[in-house]
Amino acid sequence: MAEINAASGQLTPYAHSLGIAVDRVEGGVPVLVVDFSNAVEGRPGALHGGAISGLLETAGYAALRGELDRIERKARLKPINITVEFLSAGKPRQTFSKARITKLGRRTANLVVEAWQVNRDRPIASAVMNVMVKDEEP
Amino acid sequence: MARQSFALMPDEPIPFDPALAAPLLGKGSHNGWLGLRYRDHGEDWVELELPWRADLLGEEEEEVLASGPIISLMDMASGLSIWTRKKLFQPIATLDLRVDYLRGSKPRASVFGRVQCYHLGHSAAFVRGIAHDGDADDPVAHMQGVFMTIATDPRNFARG
């Protein structure tokens, strides 16, 4: 529970406002969830691609923040880029997302993120992100 | 009388007009929630505005819009640019979208998304665009993407 609260406290105002929450923490990595609502609806009855992208990106930052906290490294994060692949239409139900840090370097981090609904082995979208990691002055 | 009613139903469908369509597409959905507004368009491009709002911030203390809403802005402008070039509204799905963030937008500034549909294939549409905060020559982000048309068969539409 403490892990969930810590991760929730780091979500952006945008993420809270879209309805993104921390569902659970798996091995130190937050699994985010968003319920289906008007705020995330695109075509009638389908998730909006932009909302899915927002969820993926938020899951990426959540994983990175968690790891930086774990290794007690204070840094500011700035987006470099994100590439999102949309694999199937998002249905009107809960959507989950979790990231994997593929590289955390001195200046940049690279992450792979997936979003899924009922079946975790069949993601509805995946993303690759590069993030600038700037250490704060001690 | 009969002649008049025929005049209201031309043989050719009315070409897609992003200025008229944008407000309707946003109603009760993610785009409406973001408050996206139509700004301008040409033969194959559309520009929308994402107004600044406190609950769309990336980091509270910085008053800069998060990157998530910028993806949504570019996604919506992409769809409109495709329908504008096609002169026809047709259901589409985003296949792939890439955004490069050049810099943060100015505090409390609206972000504008200008997207061009530069190629229309049989079922794939290719788009590219920029996001800026007032000066299109000084973008905050670049994006490119590919969209697929969805067959208009209602059974396919329901399946998404």
Which stretch, A10-14, B11-15, B50-54, B146-150, has highest mean pLDDT?
Answer: B146-150
What local confidence, expressed as pLDDT, does residue B59 receive?
66
pLDDT greater than 90 at residue A5: no
In chain A, what residues touch B66 (CB-CB under 8 Å)? Answer: 12-15, 54
Contacts of A131 in chain B (CB under 8 A): none
For chain B, domains (ranges, CATH) are 15-159 (3.10.129.10)
pLDDT of A113 reads 98
Q: Tell me: the pLDDT tens digits for A41-91?
A: 988 888 999 999 999 999 999 999 999 999 999 998 889 999 999 999 999
pLDDT digits (tens, 9 = 90+) for B107-137: 889 999 999 999 999 899 999 999 999 999 9
Is B1's pLDDT higher than 50? no
Domains within chain A, CATH numbers bracketed: 2-135 (3.10.129.10)
Q: Chain B contacts of A20, Cβ < 8 Å?
A: none
Report pLDDT for B50: 92
| Closest Cα in chain A to B52 | A14
A80–B67 C-beta distance less than 8 A: no
B92, B87, B85: which is closest to B149 by C-alpha? Answer: B92
* Predicted pLDDT at B157: 46
The dihedral of CA A101, A103, A109, A113: what is its sign? negative
> Which chain A residues have any C-beta within 8 angstroms of a chain B C-beta?
12-18, 38-46, 48-51, 53-54, 57-58, 78-86, 88-89, 91
DSSP state of B87: T
CA distances from A33 to A19, A24, A37, A96, B155 (A): 8, 9, 12, 4, 29
Question: What residue spans of B30-153 are helical by DSSP H?
Answer: 30-34, 67-86
| A37 → chain B, closest CA residue | B29
* Contact residues on chain A for B32, CB-CB shorter than 8 A: 38
Q: Which residues pair with B93 in a beta bridge?
A: B148
Decide which of B144 and B3 is more confident: B144
Which of B59, B66, B72 is nearest residue A48 as measured by Cβ atoms? B72
